[in-house]
Amino acid sequence: MNTVDEVLNDANSKLQKSFDALKAQFAGLRTGKANPAMVDGIKVEYYGCPTPIKNLGTISTPEPRQIKITPFDPTVLGEMNKAILAANLGVTPQTDGKVLRITVPELNEQRRKEIVKLAKTQAEAQKVAMRNIRRDANEAVKKLEKDKKISEDDLKGALDKIQKATDGAIAKIDAELKTKEAEVMAV
């Protein structure tokens, strides 16, 4: 990278990707409501190849506490059932030979607290990743200054911009965590 703008753009895109990764992790966390994202990460053995469950059927939520999976190929229902049980989501799927239904039970207080704790752990891991992005960007800008490609004033300005971008991204994580915590703890 030869300019401060390139370093800043790279850092900003990495910060956004880190935030998007956290949102994807949060989507997979169980709340009191049924959410198709709960089963998104599950892979099903299909003709000897692990295939994402979302590629094998239609996933919908016909009721607030139910996930319905309609496979494109009904012969894969048994494998889907096994994969969901193996994913340890705390749910037991039922099948009628054509459709797989997952009823999401009400969460108890202890389980809610465990999920919030897991969400906090995931958020903290993403904050650490963002701080590493900040460190890498700072080093890149300092190298530009050392190589005489930018002035000392440009270096200070760039470091401030990097810090502000990191602070903004971490604030977004905190807001997302607060939202997820409220969603999980809502009875």
Question: Of 103, 135, 159, which residue sits at a domain end?
Answer: 103
| Domain count across the chain | 2
Task: Name the residue range of residue 146's domain.
Answer: 4-28+108-185
Walk along the chain (187 residues) and give the pLDDT tens digit of each residue: 678 889 999 999 999 999 999 988 888 777 767 788 888 888 998 888 999 998 999 999 998 889 999 999 888 998 999 998 888 777 888 988 889 999 888 878 888 888 899 899 999 999 999 999 999 999 999 999 898 888 889 899 999 999 999 999 999 999 999 999 988 887 6
**Residue position matching structure tokens 């935030």:** 19
Question: Of 103, 126, 143, which residue sits at a domain end?
Answer: 103
Q: Are 29 and 115 in contact (CB under 8 A)?
A: yes
Residues 134 and 174 in one domain: yes
pTM for this prediction: 0.73
160: alpha, beta or left, given left = phi > 0 and alpha = psi -120 to 50?
alpha
